[in-house]
Amino acid sequence: MEIEEIQLQDLNAETFIEEQVKAIAETVGDGLAVNALSGGVDSAVVTLLGHRALGDRLKTYFIENGLMREGEPRHVVDVFAGLGVKVEIVDARDKFFAALAGVTDPEEKRDKGITEVFYKDVFGKLVLDCGAKVLLQGTNYTDVEETVAGVKRQHNILEQLGIDTEQAYGYKVVEPIIRLRKPAVRVVGKALGLPEEIFARPPFPGPALATRVIGEVTPDRIALVRAATTIVEAELADSGAFQYMAILHEDKVTGLRGDKRDFGHQIEVRCWESEDAVTAAPTELPFELLRKIADRLTTEVPGVVSVTYNVTAKPPSCIEAV
Protein backbone atom coordinates (compact mmCIF):
# COMPACT_ATOMS: atom_id res chain seq x y z
CA MET A 1 0.00 0.00 0.00
CA GLU A 2 1.42 3.39 -0.95
CA ILE A 3 -0.19 5.44 1.82
CA GLU A 4 2.06 5.74 4.85
CA GLU A 5 0.48 5.69 8.29
CA ILE A 6 1.17 8.50 10.79
CA GLN A 7 1.40 6.63 14.07
CA LEU A 8 -0.17 8.08 17.19
CA GLN A 9 3.20 8.66 18.89
CA ASP A 10 4.47 10.58 15.84
CA LEU A 11 1.41 12.78 15.51
CA ASN A 12 1.63 16.50 16.27
CA ALA A 13 -2.05 17.46 16.09
CA GLU A 14 -1.47 21.18 15.60
CA THR A 15 1.01 20.68 12.76
CA PHE A 16 -1.25 18.06 11.17
CA ILE A 17 -4.23 20.44 11.28
CA GLU A 18 -2.20 23.27 9.77
CA GLU A 19 -0.92 21.07 6.94
CA GLN A 20 -4.31 19.62 6.10
CA VAL A 21 -6.08 22.99 6.17
CA LYS A 22 -3.42 24.32 3.78
CA ALA A 23 -3.70 21.30 1.49
CA ILE A 24 -7.51 21.53 1.33
CA ALA A 25 -7.37 25.26 0.58
CA GLU A 26 -4.84 24.66 -2.22
CA THR A 27 -6.74 21.77 -3.80
CA VAL A 28 -10.11 23.53 -3.79
CA GLY A 29 -8.67 26.89 -4.89
CA ASP A 30 -11.44 29.47 -5.09
CA GLY A 31 -14.13 26.87 -5.85
CA LEU A 32 -16.53 24.95 -3.66
CA ALA A 33 -16.22 21.65 -1.86
CA VAL A 34 -18.87 19.40 -0.37
CA ASN A 35 -18.75 16.82 2.38
CA ALA A 36 -21.06 14.45 4.14
CA LEU A 37 -21.22 14.55 7.90
CA SER A 38 -22.48 11.36 9.54
CA GLY A 39 -21.85 12.41 13.13
CA GLY A 40 -18.95 9.99 13.57
CA VAL A 41 -15.54 11.27 14.60
CA ASP A 42 -13.96 10.80 11.13
CA SER A 43 -16.45 12.88 9.18
CA ALA A 44 -16.68 15.39 12.04
CA VAL A 45 -12.91 16.00 11.94
CA VAL A 46 -12.98 16.39 8.16
CA THR A 47 -15.89 18.82 8.43
CA LEU A 48 -13.96 21.06 10.83
CA LEU A 49 -10.74 20.86 8.77
CA GLY A 50 -12.71 21.79 5.66
CA HIS A 51 -14.56 24.55 7.46
CA ARG A 52 -11.28 26.06 8.66
CA ALA A 53 -9.85 25.91 5.17
CA LEU A 54 -12.88 27.07 3.19
CA GLY A 55 -15.46 28.66 5.51
CA ASP A 56 -18.77 28.96 3.69
CA ARG A 57 -17.28 27.48 0.52
CA LEU A 58 -17.61 24.08 2.17
CA LYS A 59 -21.16 22.75 1.86
CA THR A 60 -21.79 20.13 4.52
CA TYR A 61 -24.65 17.68 4.14
CA PHE A 62 -26.11 15.07 6.41
CA ILE A 63 -27.43 12.31 4.16
CA GLU A 64 -30.56 10.92 5.76
CA ASN A 65 -30.32 7.40 4.35
CA GLY A 66 -33.01 6.01 6.65
CA LEU A 67 -30.39 3.73 8.20
CA MET A 68 -29.27 5.94 11.07
CA ARG A 69 -29.83 5.65 14.79
CA GLU A 70 -32.83 7.18 16.52
CA GLY A 71 -32.79 11.00 16.46
CA GLU A 72 -29.32 11.12 14.85
CA PRO A 73 -29.87 13.57 11.96
CA ARG A 74 -31.33 16.35 14.13
CA HIS A 75 -28.81 15.82 16.91
CA VAL A 76 -25.80 16.07 14.59
CA VAL A 77 -27.15 19.22 12.94
CA ASP A 78 -27.65 20.80 16.37
CA VAL A 79 -24.16 19.93 17.64
CA PHE A 80 -22.54 21.46 14.54
CA ALA A 81 -24.75 24.53 14.66
CA GLY A 82 -23.18 25.05 18.11
CA LEU A 83 -19.75 24.95 16.42
CA GLY A 84 -20.78 27.51 13.81
CA VAL A 85 -21.10 24.96 10.97
CA LYS A 86 -24.30 24.86 8.97
CA VAL A 87 -25.35 21.34 7.99
CA GLU A 88 -28.12 20.61 5.55
CA ILE A 89 -30.13 17.39 5.83
CA VAL A 90 -30.74 15.63 2.49
CA ASP A 91 -33.58 13.13 2.56
CA ALA A 92 -32.45 10.17 0.46
CA ARG A 93 -34.33 7.43 2.31
CA ASP A 94 -36.33 6.24 -0.68
CA LYS A 95 -33.24 5.95 -2.88
CA PHE A 96 -31.36 3.78 -0.39
CA PHE A 97 -34.30 1.50 0.42
CA ALA A 98 -35.08 1.08 -3.27
CA ALA A 99 -31.48 0.04 -3.98
CA LEU A 100 -31.39 -2.31 -0.98
CA ALA A 101 -34.68 -4.05 -1.77
CA GLY A 102 -34.20 -7.75 -2.38
CA VAL A 103 -30.42 -7.64 -1.76
CA THR A 104 -29.12 -10.18 0.73
CA ASP A 105 -25.47 -10.65 -0.22
CA PRO A 106 -23.30 -8.58 2.20
CA GLU A 107 -20.87 -7.18 -0.36
CA GLU A 108 -23.65 -6.41 -2.81
CA LYS A 109 -25.44 -4.51 -0.06
CA ARG A 110 -22.34 -2.41 0.53
CA ASP A 111 -21.54 -1.92 -3.13
CA LYS A 112 -24.86 -1.54 -4.96
CA GLY A 113 -27.02 -0.61 -1.97
CA ILE A 114 -24.79 1.96 -0.30
CA THR A 115 -21.71 2.99 -2.27
CA GLU A 116 -23.39 3.41 -5.65
CA VAL A 117 -26.38 5.29 -4.26
CA PHE A 118 -24.25 7.50 -2.05
CA TYR A 119 -21.62 8.53 -4.60
CA LYS A 120 -23.54 8.41 -7.83
CA ASP A 121 -27.19 9.21 -7.14
CA VAL A 122 -27.01 11.38 -4.04
CA PHE A 123 -23.61 13.08 -4.14
CA GLY A 124 -23.31 13.12 -7.90
CA LYS A 125 -26.47 15.20 -7.99
CA LEU A 126 -25.56 17.46 -5.05
CA VAL A 127 -22.14 18.21 -6.49
CA LEU A 128 -23.59 18.93 -9.91
CA ASP A 129 -26.31 21.17 -8.44
CA CYS A 130 -23.96 23.34 -6.40
CA GLY A 131 -21.03 23.35 -8.85
CA ALA A 132 -18.44 21.84 -6.49
CA LYS A 133 -15.50 19.95 -7.91
CA VAL A 134 -14.26 18.35 -4.71
CA LEU A 135 -15.71 15.96 -2.14
CA LEU A 136 -13.95 15.89 1.24
CA GLN A 137 -14.23 12.54 2.92
CA GLY A 138 -13.16 10.94 6.19
CA THR A 139 -11.53 7.75 4.94
CA ASN A 140 -9.04 6.54 7.56
CA TYR A 141 -6.05 4.23 7.40
CA THR A 142 -7.90 1.17 8.69
CA ASP A 143 -10.64 1.56 6.04
CA VAL A 144 -8.04 1.40 3.28
CA GLU A 145 -6.14 -1.46 4.85
CA GLU A 146 -9.22 -3.66 5.26
CA THR A 147 -10.57 -3.02 1.80
CA VAL A 148 -7.24 -3.52 0.07
CA ALA A 149 -6.68 -6.70 2.10
CA GLY A 150 -10.08 -7.88 0.87
CA VAL A 151 -11.66 -8.13 4.34
CA LYS A 152 -14.68 -6.13 3.28
CA ARG A 153 -15.70 -3.42 0.90
CA GLN A 154 -15.68 -0.31 3.08
CA HIS A 155 -18.26 2.05 1.66
CA ASN A 156 -15.84 4.94 1.23
CA ILE A 157 -12.94 3.27 -0.57
CA LEU A 158 -12.72 4.24 -4.21
CA GLU A 159 -9.33 5.23 -5.59
CA GLN A 160 -7.53 2.38 -3.85
CA LEU A 161 -9.79 0.02 -5.78
CA GLY A 162 -8.90 1.72 -9.03
CA ILE A 163 -12.05 3.86 -9.27
CA ASP A 164 -11.35 7.20 -10.94
CA THR A 165 -13.90 9.36 -9.12
CA GLU A 166 -13.62 12.30 -11.54
CA GLN A 167 -14.53 10.01 -14.39
CA ALA A 168 -17.06 7.85 -12.52
CA TYR A 169 -18.87 10.52 -10.49
CA GLY A 170 -17.69 13.90 -11.81
CA TYR A 171 -15.70 15.12 -8.79
CA LYS A 172 -12.38 14.68 -7.05
CA VAL A 173 -12.22 13.02 -3.63
CA VAL A 174 -9.89 14.48 -0.99
CA GLU A 175 -9.15 12.42 2.13
CA PRO A 176 -7.41 14.50 4.81
CA ILE A 177 -7.24 11.79 7.52
CA ILE A 178 -6.30 8.83 5.35
CA ARG A 179 -2.94 8.42 7.14
CA LEU A 180 -4.50 8.21 10.62
CA ARG A 181 -6.08 5.43 12.60
CA LYS A 182 -9.01 6.09 14.92
CA PRO A 183 -7.04 6.97 18.11
CA ALA A 184 -5.06 9.58 16.16
CA VAL A 185 -8.26 10.93 14.58
CA ARG A 186 -9.69 11.44 18.08
CA VAL A 187 -6.60 13.42 19.14
CA VAL A 188 -6.99 15.69 16.10
CA GLY A 189 -10.73 16.03 16.84
CA LYS A 190 -10.00 17.19 20.37
CA ALA A 191 -7.38 19.68 19.13
CA LEU A 192 -9.92 21.05 16.64
CA GLY A 193 -12.35 21.79 19.47
CA LEU A 194 -14.93 19.06 18.86
CA PRO A 195 -17.03 18.30 21.94
CA GLU A 196 -15.99 15.12 23.78
CA GLU A 197 -19.34 13.58 22.94
CA ILE A 198 -18.17 13.54 19.31
CA PHE A 199 -14.39 12.99 19.47
CA ALA A 200 -14.73 10.13 21.97
CA ARG A 201 -17.74 8.55 20.29
CA PRO A 202 -17.67 4.80 19.60
CA PRO A 203 -17.17 4.18 15.86
CA PHE A 204 -20.27 3.84 13.71
CA PRO A 205 -20.01 2.54 10.15
CA GLY A 206 -20.91 4.65 7.11
CA PRO A 207 -23.48 2.10 5.84
CA ALA A 208 -25.01 2.46 9.32
CA LEU A 209 -27.63 -0.03 10.49
CA ALA A 210 -27.49 -1.82 7.12
CA THR A 211 -24.32 -3.51 8.44
CA ARG A 212 -26.40 -4.84 11.34
CA VAL A 213 -29.24 -6.46 9.42
CA ILE A 214 -28.43 -9.94 8.15
CA GLY A 215 -30.52 -10.60 5.06
CA GLU A 216 -32.72 -8.05 3.33
CA VAL A 217 -32.65 -4.44 4.55
CA THR A 218 -36.19 -3.06 4.64
CA PRO A 219 -37.66 -0.07 6.50
CA ASP A 220 -39.36 -2.45 8.96
CA ARG A 221 -36.24 -4.45 9.68
CA ILE A 222 -34.22 -1.24 10.13
CA ALA A 223 -36.87 0.06 12.55
CA LEU A 224 -36.49 -3.14 14.55
CA VAL A 225 -32.70 -3.02 14.75
CA ARG A 226 -32.86 0.73 15.48
CA ALA A 227 -35.08 0.13 18.51
CA ALA A 228 -32.73 -2.63 19.68
CA THR A 229 -29.71 -0.35 19.14
CA THR A 230 -31.20 2.35 21.38
CA ILE A 231 -31.52 -0.16 24.22
CA VAL A 232 -28.09 -1.77 23.76
CA GLU A 233 -26.34 1.62 23.50
CA ALA A 234 -28.11 2.92 26.62
CA GLU A 235 -27.23 -0.17 28.66
CA LEU A 236 -23.59 -0.30 27.50
CA ALA A 237 -22.79 3.43 27.45
CA ASP A 238 -20.87 3.09 30.72
CA SER A 239 -19.10 -0.15 29.75
CA GLY A 240 -15.99 1.70 28.52
CA ALA A 241 -15.95 -0.67 25.54
CA PHE A 242 -14.63 0.28 22.08
CA GLN A 243 -17.93 -0.39 20.31
CA TYR A 244 -21.25 -2.13 21.00
CA MET A 245 -24.23 -2.99 18.86
CA ALA A 246 -27.40 -4.95 18.17
CA ILE A 247 -27.67 -7.21 15.12
CA LEU A 248 -30.87 -8.53 13.61
CA HIS A 249 -30.58 -12.09 12.37
CA GLU A 250 -32.23 -13.39 9.24
CA ASP A 251 -33.45 -16.63 10.79
CA LYS A 252 -36.45 -16.60 13.06
CA VAL A 253 -36.79 -18.96 15.99
CA THR A 254 -39.59 -20.48 18.01
CA GLY A 255 -40.35 -18.65 21.22
CA LEU A 256 -43.12 -18.59 23.77
CA ARG A 257 -45.22 -15.60 24.74
CA GLY A 258 -47.90 -16.05 27.37
CA ASP A 259 -48.85 -19.65 26.70
CA LYS A 260 -48.65 -19.37 22.91
CA ARG A 261 -45.94 -20.24 20.42
CA ASP A 262 -44.31 -17.10 19.01
CA PHE A 263 -42.08 -17.55 15.94
CA GLY A 264 -39.99 -14.41 16.32
CA HIS A 265 -36.78 -12.48 15.74
CA GLN A 266 -33.32 -13.02 17.17
CA ILE A 267 -31.10 -10.14 18.22
CA GLU A 268 -27.37 -10.69 18.66
CA VAL A 269 -25.59 -8.28 21.01
CA ARG A 270 -21.91 -7.54 20.42
CA CYS A 271 -19.57 -5.52 22.64
CA TRP A 272 -15.90 -5.10 21.74
CA GLU A 273 -12.57 -4.29 23.34
CA SER A 274 -10.21 -2.92 20.71
CA GLU A 275 -7.57 -0.26 20.04
CA ASP A 276 -8.08 0.36 16.36
CA ALA A 277 -10.73 -2.14 15.12
CA VAL A 278 -8.11 -4.28 13.37
CA THR A 279 -8.35 -6.93 16.07
CA ALA A 280 -10.94 -7.02 18.84
CA ALA A 281 -12.04 -9.16 21.77
CA PRO A 282 -15.52 -9.54 23.24
CA THR A 283 -16.01 -7.60 26.47
CA GLU A 284 -16.54 -9.78 29.54
CA LEU A 285 -19.84 -8.18 30.50
CA PRO A 286 -21.48 -9.10 33.83
CA PHE A 287 -24.12 -11.78 33.31
CA GLU A 288 -26.68 -9.67 35.22
CA LEU A 289 -26.23 -6.87 32.68
CA LEU A 290 -26.65 -9.28 29.76
CA ARG A 291 -29.85 -10.60 31.35
CA LYS A 292 -31.14 -7.06 31.75
CA ILE A 293 -30.42 -6.27 28.08
CA ALA A 294 -32.19 -9.49 27.02
CA ASP A 295 -35.21 -8.65 29.18
CA ARG A 296 -35.47 -5.17 27.70
CA LEU A 297 -35.03 -6.34 24.11
CA THR A 298 -37.68 -9.06 24.42
CA THR A 299 -40.20 -6.82 26.17
CA GLU A 300 -39.60 -3.46 24.45
CA VAL A 301 -38.90 -4.50 20.84
CA PRO A 302 -41.96 -6.14 19.28
CA GLY A 303 -41.37 -9.60 17.84
CA VAL A 304 -38.00 -10.33 19.52
CA VAL A 305 -38.00 -13.70 21.29
CA SER A 306 -34.29 -14.52 21.49
CA VAL A 307 -31.13 -12.60 22.43
CA THR A 308 -27.58 -13.92 22.12
CA TYR A 309 -24.17 -12.46 23.03
CA ASN A 310 -21.22 -12.87 20.66
CA VAL A 311 -18.15 -14.30 22.44
CA THR A 312 -15.93 -14.61 19.36
CA ALA A 313 -12.83 -12.46 18.84
CA LYS A 314 -11.92 -10.58 15.65
CA PRO A 315 -10.49 -12.45 13.78
CA PRO A 316 -12.26 -14.66 12.78
CA SER A 317 -15.36 -12.58 13.58
CA CYS A 318 -15.65 -9.05 12.24
CA ILE A 319 -16.92 -6.17 14.37
CA GLU A 320 -19.99 -5.66 12.16
CA ALA A 321 -22.09 -8.58 10.93
CA VAL A 322 -22.27 -7.46 7.30
What character string, x for contact with ligand XMP (CB under 6 A) and - otherwise, covers 143-172? x--x----xx-xxx----------------
Given the DSSP bridges, would you call strands 260-273 and 281-282 parallel, antiparallel or unpaired? antiparallel
Closest CA to 172 of 155, 159, 162, 161: 159
Residues forming beta bridges with residue 146, ordered by sequence position: none
CB of 35 to ligand XMP, least distance (A): 14
What character string, x for contact with ligand XMP (CB under 6 A) and - otherwise, covers 103-142? ----------------------------------------
Closest CA to 122 of 71, 190, 63: 63
| Residue 125 one-letter amino acid | K
Is residue 318 within the footprint of ligand XMP (CB under 6 A)?
A: yes
CB of 153 to ligand XMP, least distance (A): 7
Given the DSSP bridges, would you call strands 281-282 and 304-309 parallel, antiparallel or unpaired? unpaired
* Contacts to ligand XMP from residues 81-100, by CB under 6 A: none
Is residue 211 within the footprint of ligand XMP (CB under 6 A)?
A: yes
In order of 144, 149, 160, 178, the CA distances from 2 in angstroms are 11, 13, 9, 11
CB of 93 to ligand XMP, least distance (A): 19
The SS3 call for residue 112 is helix
CB of 25 to ligand XMP, least distance (A): 25
CB-wise, 73 or 264, nearer to ligand XMP? 73
Q: Which helix (H) or strand (E) holds 34?
A: strand 33-36
Q: Which residues bind ligand XMP (CB under 6 A)?
A: 143, 146, 151-152, 154-156, 203, 205-207, 211, 243, 277, 314, 318-320
